[in-house]
Structure 1
Amino acid sequence: MKFMKLGSKPDSFQSKGKNIRFVQSELEIDIIVKVGDVIFHLHKLPLLSKSSLMQKLVTTNNDDNLGEIDIPDIPGGPAAFEICVKFCYGMTVILNSYNVVSARCAAEYLEMHETVEKGNLIYKIEVLLSSSIFHAWKDSIIALRTMKSLSPWSEDLKLVSSCIDSIATKASVDPSKVEWSYTYNQKKILSENSLDPLWSGIIKEQSVPMDWWVEDLCELEIDFYEKIIVAIKAKRRVSSEVIGEALKAYSFRWLSNLGTASVNSAIDAAKYQSILQSIIWLLPAEKGSVSCRFLFKLLGSIILIDGGERSMKELIKQIGRHLEYASVSDLLIPVMPGHNTIYDIDTVMSIVKEFLMQHSIASQPSPNETEETETMNLAVVSDSSKMAVAKLIDGYLAEVAKEPNLLCSKFTDLAGLVSSKSRPVHDGLYHAIDIYLKEHPSLSKSEKKKLCGLLDCKKLSAEICIHAVQNERLPLRLVVQILFFEQMRASSSCSGRAGSGGSYGSSRSGITTNAEDEWDGMPTAEVLGSFKSTKLAHGNGGSQRNSGSSDTTKTDGHDKSGNAKAKGIKMPRKMLGELLSSKRQTGENSSSSNTSVSEEMHN
């Protein structure tokens, strides 16, 4: 620690009780100075020789008796005044980073300038600050911590700005040039040396980490901390990732007990709000600069103390920028007491909407865009991000679906925010819907219809389709649609293999087109008839499937009586599952059999 020793005489200050200080001297006391609740018994000559203010106060004092002067508002209080008095008496006094700022402010208050005497206290303190304190990393931080109680003197004397600039400059230095001591997580150093099970016994020379300055700044209060981070950002030498790490460390230092400790007063609430608002405002705009988990922890803190709508909106904007990196556990935001649900669905919906809005803006081509490849790369990044978020939302829906009080409209609204294009596979969505149906058996038909309408049967895997056709919770209409598409998919696959020989090249396109045209409606009699004919074909063996005349006969019969059959067909779900399984096994048989089924469905 840097320091300066002033004076050479021994310290002769004495105390009498708690509130009286006097100088042990043969000379008689001729002035009393009251500073706050402490009374100083002093001599005029040493004070008047160095303090212009004391000269004025003594001159204006008309009392012929022992003069008493009251200076209640001196910065630094009795301790700072005593330092100045000792300097006036020539007593030994040590100035360091803990007391130098208060002494500087008190000396300014007492007007101890060079015009009064050469080599006065203000000059000596300025030399110490400029040559030592502001050049030392930890001394600068310690000095800055003392300045808040000395406001506005410390600001007016530009001590705060000088100290902040010094700290920000050192934090922006190339780590390879850092030669001063700093506080860092010692666990990392130990694990790389003696605590490492493979340690060779040789202590490695530690390189200075990029975030070497982070922990030391955590001791500062939020107002000074905010100014330093702003100054570091302005120098543009520190990466956004390191800035993000600094904010994370500061949040852990000041907010880690917020979830367990109750906010007992308005002062505590205001303090936490100030910290959160500043951290949110300081968050780097660059994507990936902070973890999504950290952002969600900030969000939980904002909700807990009601940090304000403005901070909430800004944080949601930040989370929307990083949403693709979130996990399902991050989204499980608990609601405040008094609500009938467990998790905050509305906030999650706001985050997803923000994500979609940002990606919608990002995907719009720039007016000056000339490189087509840049546009294509942007689209690829955007699509991959949307698919990651779609998978995340499906996992989240599966968790919140267990809530007994979760409204169907909330579920469908959140699920519907993600476009079908962003869900190449609907297995996760099916799983979430199945859980919701299981936990909410009293849903109305219209609610079930709206819920199941989210599913695209074309995007269900084979395993999910087998499960779905045997699922008693699903509407029969959806089950039939799933089975219908599985039949189309199997037929298309068979036609593709047969078409490689050049015989049925147009069958697959015809079947696919039919499936697309009739997907949104109730399956027609022809479709149901094709299911029945397929079932019969499986039951009668390969000879009938290989007979072209036999296929034609069945198709003609079906055309005549299809409408009547559509009304009366009731196929047990177990039978549907068996049919789907047997249909898949048959799809792996001879190409002639597959071709027969394909022709039947196409006709």
Structure 2
Amino acid sequence: MKKGFQLAGLDNCESESPLGGKSNRCVVVAANVPILAHSLERTQRNWFARSNSPTDLIVQVGDSTFHLHKLAMASRSEYLNRLVFQRGSNRERVGDSLIIQLKNLPGGKKYFELVVKFCYGRKFDITAANIAPLYCAAHFLEMSEDLEQGNLISKTESFLTFLILSSWKNTFRILKTTESISPWAKDLQIVKRCSEAIAWKACTNPNASCENEGPLKHAQASNSVVDNWWFEDVSNLRIDHFVEVIQSIRRRGTKPEVIGSCIEHWTRKWFSQVTLGLDKDTPKPITLHLHRISTECLVNMLPTEENSVTCNFLLHLLKAGLMLKINSELLCVLERRVALMLEKCRVPDLLVKNQGEKHSLYDVTVVLRVLRFYVCGLSSNRSAKPHIVARLVDGYLTHVARDENLTMESFKSLVEALPQNARYCDDYLYRAIDMFLKAHPNLTEEDRTDICRKLEYHRLSHEARQHVMQNDRLPLKLTTEFVILEQVNMATLMTSNGSNYRRTNAQTIMRVNRDLENRQINNAKEINMMRKDVEMIKSQLLEVNSCKIKLQKQLKRCIY
């Protein structure tokens, strides 16, 4: 650690070593002070500058009062100089002392106290924790070199530049202190300078996050550097500062997927309080307003490049946007981006968890919104592959169907979200429906019939049909229909193979129609009888086929 280091007029600065040490600090002493104060005494909320001459200036900052000397303060501050020596007889006085009120001083009374110490030539430390507010206060009071060489603006400017360029951690400390003086920090380019310094170090110095670590940790980090080493520090920033940093990093040509990952890291950290309802320090309306603004900022700053952000993150962001009621155009932006990614997604990409015991485990409403957006664009997208999305949706349905809290309306809406011709086969859809019925055994016959409305006999494989006819969870009407259609199908096969089976295809169809008209098939016993009939037809068909094979063999023998 170096002591007594001189930096552009700063006195007695200390600098940390690369491998550790104290935080950077600098002891500031003003030169050529017109009035020296023996002491600065505090009595409750009043400050008194004790010197050989009586005080003649009272400065009120907030609820505190400073009893000072005009010459000491006005000689360093152009702003106070104008207030002290402006003309007018109606100014407020207490005895021989002029009263001045300072409103909107950056940092308030805490930093005006440091300004007073500087003007009276008393030593004080400036560090990363106070440099930004003090720098802003110096600009507010116009403490420039025009009045005195080595004035407070030049001293704080030099040390601020030194801290930003030399220390990764102190740059973040400076940004943190600017939150309470945000307009001034932005106007004086403090936020921009810190953001550009962070971007420069993040893009050029992979080991910058290892400062203040021992040699062993430093060496280990050097051997395991990855693109996201800076994510955690950046994720501690407030949204406006985070936006500035990301913009600076983007201007340096960082990969879009790295920027997208950083945005996702920040969002998951800050928005856990929204989804979990843990943010109790701030009143709810204010909290929701801040998160709404944050969400809109995040959507606007997302990289537009393909695969720069994950589908799952976009769905979580969409969920947050719906909760917070962000701008509808931004919601459409998110829905469109996810819809364009659906054909390359997997089932885990669609899983967005809900919070609370009364809700379903996964939020299906966000997925449903994206599916409807996707379907709306099918007519204008000739390269779309809806059968791939249908397979994805059926897999998603299978995953969420096990949830007892998933409502029938939500499940049915997902089943019907895609057009009928999007599925080549209904096997996976049938599996999802069967799982849902198993998890919801108390559904009425009418509800079960409604859920199964999308299932079609000719779109199921032979194995799936057999399972349907033996599945007691399905509505009786559907099971009956499948058994009848299976009979028709078997009869068609029999007649096409030249069987002498007495029931022709036309007779079978006539019987089916007659049974349906008379509504005679209405109980499980009849279904079981029909199942046996189907099994008997199968065995007869096998016999016919074996006879056919024997006849073909005998015919070959006769020919030869």
Provide TM-score, normalisation by structure 2: 0.73
Percent identity, please: 25
Is residue 226 from structure 1 mapped to residue 248 from structure 2 by the alignment?
no
Specify the SS of the correspondent of 2:47.
Answer: strand
Specify the SS of the correspondent of 1:181.
Answer: helix
Specify the SS of the correspondent of 1:443.
Answer: helix
How many residue pairs are counted as aligned between the two chains? 498
Partner of 2:481: 477
Cα distance in 2 for partners of 1:232, 1:204 equals 22
Do 2:401 and 2:433's aligned partners in 1 also have CA atoms closer than 8 Å?
yes
**Long gaps (5+) in structure 2:** 1-22, 516-525, 554-560
Which of 437, 443, 451 aligns to 2:446? It is 443
Specify the SS of the correspondent of 2:236.
Answer: coil
Specify the SS of the correspondent of 2:454.
Answer: coil
1:216 CA displacement? 0.9
- Name the CA shift for 1:115/1:345 in 2 (closer, same or farther; >3 Å): closer
Which of 30, 33, 48 aligns to 2:74? It is 48
Cα distance in 1 for partners of 2:456, 2:139 equals 77
Do 2:56 and 2:97's aligned partners in 1 also have CA atoms closer than 8 Å?
yes
Specify the SS of the correspondent of 1:257.
Answer: helix
Cα distance in 1 for partners of 2:551, 2:249 equals 70
Paired residues for 1:453-468 under 5 Å: 454-468=454-468
Which of 250, 257, 263 aligns to 2:266? It is 250
Partner of 1:276: 295
Specify the SS of the correspondent of 2:408.
Answer: coil
Q: Cα deviation per residue 1:66-104 (whole Å; 9 max; x = unaligned)?
A: 233222332221222222222222222222222122122
* Cα RMSD (Å): 4.4
Specify the SS of the correspondent of 1:152.
Answer: helix
Cα distance in 2 for partners of 1:594, 1:231 equals 85
Do 2:60 and 2:66's aligned partners in 1 also have CA atoms closer than 8 Å?
yes
Cα distance in 2 for partners of 1:583, 1:439 equals 40
Do 2:206 and 2:229's aligned partners in 1 also have CA atoms closer than 8 Å?
no
Which of 562, 575, 594 aligns to 2:532? It is 575
Is residue 327 from structure 1 mapped to residue 348 from structure 2 by the alignment?
yes
1:393 CA displacement? 4.5
Paired residues for 1:37-76 under 5 Å: 37-60=63-86, 65-76=96-107
Specify the SS of the correspondent of 1:21.
Answer: strand
Cα distance in 2 for partners of 1:232, 1:47 equals 42
Cα distance in 1 for partners of 2:339, 2:430 equals 25
1:8 CA displacement? 7.4
Partner of 1:544: none
Partner of 1:368: none
Specify the SS of the correspondent of 2:41.
Answer: strand
Specify the SS of the correspondent of 2:116.
Answer: helix
Q: What letter corresponds to residue 470 of structure 1 in structure 2?
A: Q
Q: Cα deviation per residue 1:83-129 (whole Å; 9 max; x = unaligned)?
A: 22222222222222221221222112222122112222212222223
Provide TM-score, normalisation by structure 1: 0.69
Specify the SS of the correspondent of 2:65.
Answer: strand
Paired residues for 1:511-590 under 5 Å: 529-530=491-492, 552=498, 554=500, 558=504, 572-575=529-532, 578=535, 582=539
1:467 CA displacement? 1.1
Partner of 2:11: none
- Name the CA shift for 1:57/1:528 in 2 (closer, same or farther; >3 Å): closer
Partner of 1:510: none
Q: What letter corresponds to residue 33 of structure 1 in structure 2?
A: V
Paired residues for 1:167-206 under 5 Å: 167-171=198-202, 173-174=203-204, 177-181=205-209, 205-206=222-223
Cα distance in 2 for partners of 1:93, 1:589 equals 106
Partner of 2:46: 20
Cα distance in 1 for partners of 2:126, 2:380 equals 58
Paired residues for 1:268-347 under 5 Å: 268-307=287-326, 309-323=328-342, 324-327=345-348, 330=351, 346-347=365-366
1:205 CA displacement? 4.8
1:37 CA displacement? 1.6
- Name the CA shift for 1:383/1:234 in 2 (closer, same or farther; >3 Å): farther
1:352 CA displacement? 0.8
1:297 CA displacement? 3.6
Do 1:293 and 1:326's aligned partners in 2 also have CA atoms closer than 8 Å?
no
Q: What letter corresponds to residue 94 of structure 1 in structure 2?
A: D
Q: Cα deviation per residue 1:270-313 (whole Å; 9 max; x = unaligned)?
A: 22222333333333334443344434444444454555645544
**Long gaps (5+) in structure 1:** 194-201, 365-378, 485-522, 535-550, 597-603
